[in-house]
Structure 1
């Protein structure tokens, strides 16, 4: 069971028994908010220049943002947002945002993939319209597997921002508009890749599609904030000893990150429903114990 659910169930159980009011099933919004505030206030954020993955790279946290380290970010992603366990270098939040904010806008997850040096020679020859069609078909074909795993179906609507490759700085970015089954608002998935000697940094920004304009205002600062350290940069590639990835820029855009990005997008948006579901779960538990009194 998700740790957030356990915490809330135990809290409401404790509150109920303390009040000796077993015939009443109520939702104390003030106490609920205290739990949410307590979780949000438990994190320690960083600003300034922060090393990533033992000096592999650095992030110079942009003004107006704050950085959550790897350990705390794993807790947020897995225990609070319900994502499958995985490795992350951290989360970047707007300064006024928290993991369980009522008016959540977006967060940026930072990862590292050591899959080899990515040859960028194909960047100028890519047809992004054709690539979009291929990705749309791939997502449709993967939906039966998503259903089997208990996830809703997903559809790639369009490029929210067409792919752009900065040849000089070896940075790539693009945005997708995704539609999840039964979701009222489409999801924005903004992808940033920073190419390095042995792999790439993956910055994945998730929010509602109406956050596109807001993110675009912050995008350039976020892209510029992350750099590989000397010795790990794209220009440090040594063909005699370094591995070359099996794909280029096109493969990076269309690649295997699709499935994970979809899960992250969905689960991030619905943390509040997970939390409120804990209250409903406890209510059902109490009905079994104490009968059907209202």
Structure 2
């Protein structure tokens, strides 16, 4: 009799967990289906250039992307969060695995690349690790867990001909078991840099490395915005060089915050009411607005600190 009761209770608990899980999955699917992705050529805000979505990828416009970063991943809101998200075609935005590129533009001026061949990246990494100690004090004051810079996941490389810099760091958020991958791409222009930051975990590094070549050349600056258009008589020179872009302010970026919630801390998965509210907002926007390319308007981009 006792065994029968325990068996019955076990079956009831299993059924309840299954139903709860199924209900949550329906809400997650509803949110996923509310997003409208784009392909082909995307005109970036402010007229700085165009982004050509590579084959096998899809693009989420700035308004929807900000909802993902802030509402779903739990990052701080504010201006200049994103120019859109780029992710693999078959990957869902709320997937626990995979990676997403957050796109931004930082109008910091013309970045000189004279130092590109002279940088000691081992020394630079050490400086970044030491600098992160002070930055973590500020993060913790603001209620965020500390981030440890473990090392290079991919040592910085600068393509001088195409003016493209890319590198990757391995980071540890608090006491999380799986380390974070922060893969950075910077495309240098006349007035600033186009930024692509891959949001992922170290488990996704092989896939990101395999795909990175497809996204390095997807941005084409408009006439007057390209690196070659620099005019020393009228243009502002950035305070940052190649080494400065890589070092920068290592931790104080939305790009880092995004990873906290995306992998393992999306607590809203268990809060159906929250999902319903977000889904209604997304669906409402989808019904109100056309699904054509975003209208051009003044650049709202950042990250103000150069490096994430």
CA distance in 2, matches of 1:112, 1:221: 19
Structure 1 residues 180 and 280 mapped into 2: Cα distance closer, same or farther (>3 Å)?
farther
Structure 1 residues 271 and 39 mapped into 2: Cα distance closer, same or farther (>3 Å)?
farther
**Structure 2 unaligned spans of 5+:** 1-15, 275-308
Match of 2:74 in 1: 82
Does structure 1 residue 237 correspond to structure 2 residue 224? no
CA distance in 1, matches of 2:125, 2:23: 47
Which of residues 194, 217, 224 is equivalent to 1:224?
A: 217
CA distance in 1, matches of 2:237, 2:261: 34
The alpha-carbon deviation at position 274 of structure 1 amounts to 3.2
1:60-83 deviation line (CA, Å, top 9, x unaligned): 111110000111111111111111
The alpha-carbon deviation at position 271 of structure 1 amounts to 5.2
Greater RCO, 1 or 2 (C-alpha within 8 Å, sep 6+): 2
CA distance in 2, matches of 1:170, 1:73: 27
Match of 1:164 in 2: 157
Match of 1:273 in 2: 267
Does structure 1 residue 207 correspond to structure 2 residue 183? no
Which of residues 57, 64, 67 is equivalent to 1:72?
A: 64
**Structure 1 unaligned spans of 5+:** 1-24, 282-294
Report matched runs for 1:173-184 at 5 Å. Answer: 173-184=166-177
The alpha-carbon deviation at position 96 of structure 1 amounts to 1.0
The answer (yes or no) to whether the contact 2:167–2:184 under 8 Å persists in 1 is yes
Normalized against structure 1, the TM-score is what? 0.82
Count of matched residue positions in the alignment of Structure 1 and Structure 2? 255
Which of residues 26, 30, 40 is equivalent to 2:22?
A: 30
CA distance in 1, matches of 2:47, 2:135: 37
SS in 2 for 1:82: coil
The answer (yes or no) to whether the contact 1:111–1:202 under 8 Å persists in 2 is yes
CA RMSD of aligned residues (A): 1.8
SS in 1 for 2:240: coil
Does structure 1 residue 122 correspond to structure 2 residue 115? yes
The alpha-carbon deviation at position 263 of structure 1 amounts to 1.5
CA distance in 1, matches of 2:221, 2:134: 36
The answer (yes or no) to whether the contact 2:24–2:272 under 8 Å persists in 1 is no
